[in-house]
């Protein structure tokens, strides 16, 4: 805030400073997820889009994907050690929405091109609450997305021999699920539920979203409920 044509008193300066800080305040987003009966160490990505769904920023991604290093990635020493692994089928919708090219020319984060520490963390093992922050103050309507994927959750449609030889599919089983909710910064403290809107490509070959969920079974029970609230 700038007042011209006059000398500001100390009180006016403080008022102007306080107003400016409030205008620049980062918006906090509280996300609460209750695990379902099929929850078993899934991977997550959470991000913000504009009112039309255009990607704005990542809010959270599981560290193993955000850094490109899995804690149990290598047994070269005779025991499990952290190792660099690329898994495009893990969270492909987020990967393609983010659309950041690494040093190899692909879209996956790597140890050399990681997601910033502020947006990564250990994968929650149970139900969880996350206090997330937008990079810029939110004004108006947005969409918040959550993508979740869990390995080895085969079903009668997504079987382990559906795509023989496809190693990326074999690490994913049922494809990653994408949840979404529309939020409004002008309606703070109003809880909104995220609902499944589709699944990602089974091997992470592209960023397409398939809205037909008729072949998805136990993957829909990884999460029982996801609620988001703007603070």
Over the stretch 109-129, which tens digit does the pLDDT of each residue have? Answer: 999 999 999 999 999 999 999
Residue 184 lies in a domain: yes
Q: Do strands 55-62 and 120-121 pair parallel, antiparallel, or not at all (unpaired)?
A: parallel
Tell me, yes or no, whether 221 lies in a domain.
yes
Model pLDDT, residue 85: 84
Any idea which residue has 């994913």 for tokens? 172
Specify if 13 maps to a domain: no
Q: What is residue 11's predicted lDDT score, i.e. its pLDDT?
A: 52
**What is the mean pLDDT for each group of 10 consecutive residues in the chain (231 residues)?**
38 42 70 97 97 98 93 46 82 98 96 96 94 95 98 96 94 96 96 98 98 98 98 89
- Element containing residue 18 per DSSP (H, E): helix 10-24
Number of domains in the chain: 1
Task: State residue 81's pLDDT score.
Answer: 43
- How many angstroms separate the Cα of 173 from the Cα of each of 176, 180, 216? 9, 22, 10
Is 12 within a domain?
no
Question: What pLDDT was estimated at residue 58?
Answer: 98
Q: How far apart are CA 33 and CA 60, in angstroms?
A: 13
Give a yes or no: residue 68 inside a domain. Answer: yes
DSSP state of 109: -
Q: Look at residue 52 and give its three-state secondary structure.
A: coil
Q: Specify if 125 maps to a domain.
A: yes
Token digits for 196? 């499944």
105 lies in a domain? yes
What residue numbers bound the domain in which 80 lies? 28-230
- Count of residues making up the chain: 231
* Residue 44 covered by a domain: yes
């Amino acid at each position: 805030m700038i007042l011209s044509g006059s000398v500001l008193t100390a009180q006016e300066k403080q008022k102007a400073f306080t107003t400016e800080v409030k205008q620049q305040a980062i918006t906090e987003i509280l996300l609460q997820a209750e695990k379902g009966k099929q929850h078993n160490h899934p991977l997550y990505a959470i991000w913000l889009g504009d009112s039309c769904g255009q990607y704005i920023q990542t809010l959270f991604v599981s560290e193993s994907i955000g850094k490109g290093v899995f804690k149990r990635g290598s047994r070269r020493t005779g025991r499990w050690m952290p190792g660099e692994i690329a898994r495009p089928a893990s969270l492909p919708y987020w990967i393609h929405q983010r659309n950041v090219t690494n040093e190899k020319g692909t879209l996956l984060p790597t140890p050399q091109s990681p997601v910033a520490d502020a947006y990564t963390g250990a994968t929650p093992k149970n139900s969880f609450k996350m206090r997330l922050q937008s990079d810029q103050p939110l004004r108006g309507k947005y969409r918040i997305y959550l993508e979740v994927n869990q390995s080895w959750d085969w079903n009668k449609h997504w079987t382990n021999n559906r795509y023989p030889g496809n190693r990326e599919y074999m690490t994913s089983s049922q494809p990653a699920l994408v949840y979404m909710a529309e939020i409004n910064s002008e309606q703070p403290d109003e809880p909104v539920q995220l609902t499944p809107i589709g699944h990602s490509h089974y091997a992470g070959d592209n960023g397409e979203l398939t809205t037909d969920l008729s072949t998805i079974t136990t993957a829909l029970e990884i999460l029982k409920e996801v609620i988001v609230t703007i603070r």
